[in-house]
Amino acid sequence: MTHLRFSSLLTLLIGIVFSFSSCKTSDPEPEDDNELITTVRLKFTDGSSVQTFQWQDLDGDGGKAPTIQNIALKANKTYKLDIELLDESKMPVVDQTKEVAAEKDEHLFVFTPMPASLLAYTYGDIDSKNFPIGLTGSAKTTATGTGTLKVVLRHQPPVNGMAQKNGTATPGSSDVDITFNVAVTN
């Protein structure tokens, strides 16, 4: 009788161990997917003059390499900078700029010039918590030179109901990560 109870207890214990070991623990999942963006346009406005520079990757990751236009700006100028985001994989084309603006509490553009002295970016828009967004702002060039401008759109949706956006690039994932060549001339 004792052997039967021990055997039943052992079977029950083994069953419990297997049921716990088969459960998977997972990282918290964001509550929102990244946007599909196939085209990014940077519009630099100096007075009435508008220059648009584009990155485009119509077939997405893999496949053909994206096309990236080189940015050419004048030295010692302040430009209004607006960003347009499109998903041209669909017909009609989807204006993802509106999506990012509508979800401003979940998005942050990060601008990194290299060298840092090439230009300075100032945010022109904020979300409901006074964190920057970056759909509009200004770019001030300095002396002549060449370098790059890295433009990253961070998608920072809530995780388990908790807001993640904190004004830094750290939380979230990238919807866009592009490096443009830049020439600043006289």
3-state helix, strand, coil in the chain (%, to 5): 20, 45, 40
Mean pLDDT taken over the chain: 87
Contacts of 164 (CB under 8 A, 6+ apart): 30, 106, 156, 157, 158, 171, 172
> Does any domain span residue 5?
no
> Does any domain span residue 176?
yes
Asked which of 31-45, 79-93, 100-114, 142-156 is least confident by mean pLDDT, the reply is: 31-45
> Does any domain span residue 11?
no
Nearest to 132 by CA among 112, 104, 158: 104
> Does any domain span residue 124?
yes
CATH of the domain at 53: 2.60.40.1080
Token look-up 């002295």 returns: 117
The pair of structure tokens assigned to 96 is 């993802």
**Count of domains in the chain?**
1
DSSP symbol at 48: T
Asked which of 24-28, 96-100, 168-172 is least confident by mean pLDDT, the reply is: 24-28
CA dihedral 37, 39, 40, 46 (to 10 degrees): -150
Model confidence over 53-92: pLDDT tens digits? 999 999 877 789 999 999 999 999 999 999 999 999 999 9
Range of the domain at 71: 31-185
